[in-house]
Amino acid sequence: MEDGKISVRYARALYGFAVENHCEDEIYQSLKRFCDNVNGGIGKLCNVLSNPVLDDNNKIALIETAIGEPIHDCLKHFVRFVVSHKRENKIVFIALKYQDIYRNEKHLLKTKITTAAELPEATIERIKSFVAATFKSDIEAEIEVDPNLIGGFMIDIENNRLDASVIGQLNQLKESLLRKN
């Protein structure tokens, strides 16, 4: 079976199990933390989990350590299930798919707001409100400061970008001038 299909099936099963047990929010938060904790080391984690020398209890302990506290009992049960079915090397991809399913079901847009300088909380809230009203959805916003923008901001919503930064405008001007030549 294709790896992507495996991840989707397990993520859907976890989401259904979580909904039945009224713990989908807690599991979502735990899996977000898990993905943040393994960010950049996904391949290494998957390789370690694929190692046949490492026994199932150590694999479970490694995954639970990467998830961090608190871990809901439903998620602990699911981790044991995944390891017992020899799918532990897919756990990161299952976690990512679960987050996609959760955000889709809860009408939650993953949004990243990048600003040139630290903005007051009131301004950030206005940007969030604008995005939420425009897309008729709740948003989950990650805020980042990047002085390279020079001024303004960029908003990444799912796979779309609104670039209202000075550097973005300078790059557009540069491209426009290069096309004319």
Question: Does pTM surpass 0.85?
Answer: no
- In order along the chain (181 residues), what is the average pLDDT of each group of 10 residues? 81 96 96 88 78 90 91 96 93 94 93 91 90 89 92 88 88 86 67
Q: Which domain holds residue 128?
A: 108-180
Length of the chain: 181
Judge if 149 and 131 occupy the same domain: yes
Distance from chain centroid for Cα 88: 19
Q: What is the CATH number of the domain that holds 31?
A: 1.10.520.20
Angstrom distance (rounded) from CA 163 to CA 165: 6
Judge if 93 and 175 occupy the same domain: no
Name the domain count of the chain. 2
